[in-house]
Chain A
Amino acid sequence: DTEVTQTPKHLVMGMTNKKSLKCEQHMGHRAMYWYKQKAKKPPELMFVYSYEKLSINESVPSRFSPECPNSSLLNLHLHALQPEDSALYLCASGSPGQGADTQYFGPGTRLTVL
């Protein structure tokens, strides 16, 4: 399996809702990433997990809470989001510690916050 999968594809939520985004990869990669992409902009790094431990948090607000239950799964828990958080949320995976390896992106979850 050479793909990163993400669910759901689309999500609409109110500002008081709690929801979760899910990401899965079976390529044996030990680094997983969350990116946020606004329209007509490049992906912006949010979090990096390396060997299931949070390695980088790019000063993301606490209403976004990442979780890495195991080496194949990555979740992003959402709570009390704002309309400006509406964006495409991309997951990626790669292999850390090998001199900068390729990152493979999932198809993303398009999030709309009402």
Chain B
Amino acid sequence: GENVEQHPSTLSVQEGDSAVIKCTYSDSASNYFPWYKQELGKRPQLIIDIRSNVGEKKDQRIAVTLNKTAKHFSLHITETQPEDSAVYFCAASENTGFQKLVFGTGTRLLVSP
């Protein structure tokens, strides 16, 4: 089955800096890669996703890149703000038709003012 690795486990940045979180996946048949943000005590919220037919996607300060050959994808947050502090999970969808998401282990991002 699919296996997703995520690094780093914790990331501390100063407000205004950029943050990059990296994930690798094992199943070349995976074709959907969402990123979720989870604040303490809250639900995971989708912040951006990318499909395997696209190499990059941007939404304001957030971007995701996908390298299918290397089987890795990354989340880039520019001009970080304290409210970006949360745990971020990457995920990959096994191509089963039921969108079975396999999550990475999570990255705790701390943005200091």
- The reply to whether the CB of A60 lies closer than 8 angstroms to some CB of chain B is no
Please tell me the number of chain A residues within 8 Å of chain B, measured between CB atoms.
25
- The reply to whether the CB of A55 lies closer than 8 angstroms to some CB of chain B is yes
A91-107, CB < 8 A from B: 94, 96-97, 99-107
B43 near A103 (CB under 8 angstroms)?
no
Which residues on the B side are within 8 Å of A40 (C-beta)?
106
A interface residues (Cβ-Cβ under 8 A, vs B): 31, 40-45, 48, 50, 55-56, 90, 94, 96-97, 99-108
Which residues on the B side are within 8 Å of A50 (C-beta)?
98
A41-B101 contact given A99-B32, A102-B46, A107-B42, CB 8 Å threshold? no
A105 near B32 (CB under 8 angstroms)?
no
Which of the 9-residue segments B68-76, B78-86, B89-97 touches chain A?
B89-97
Which residues on the B side are within 8 Å of A97 (C-beta)?
97
A65 CB to nearest chain B CB (Å): 20
A104-B46 contact given A42-B104, A43-B103, A99-B31, CB 8 Å threshold? yes
A48 near B100 (CB under 8 angstroms)?
yes
A48-B31 contact given A42-B104, A100-B51, A104-B46, CB 8 Å threshold? no
B43 near A105 (CB under 8 angstroms)?
yes
What are 29 A-B interface contacts by the 8 Å CB criterion?
A: A40-B106, A42-B103, A42-B106, A43-B44, A43-B101, A43-B103, A45-B101, A48-B100, A55-B98, A56-B96, A56-B98, A90-B43, A90-B44, A94-B99, A96-B97, A97-B97, A99-B31, A99-B32, A100-B32, A100-B51, A101-B99, A102-B34, A102-B49, A103-B99, A103-B101, A105-B36, A105-B44, A107-B42, A108-B43
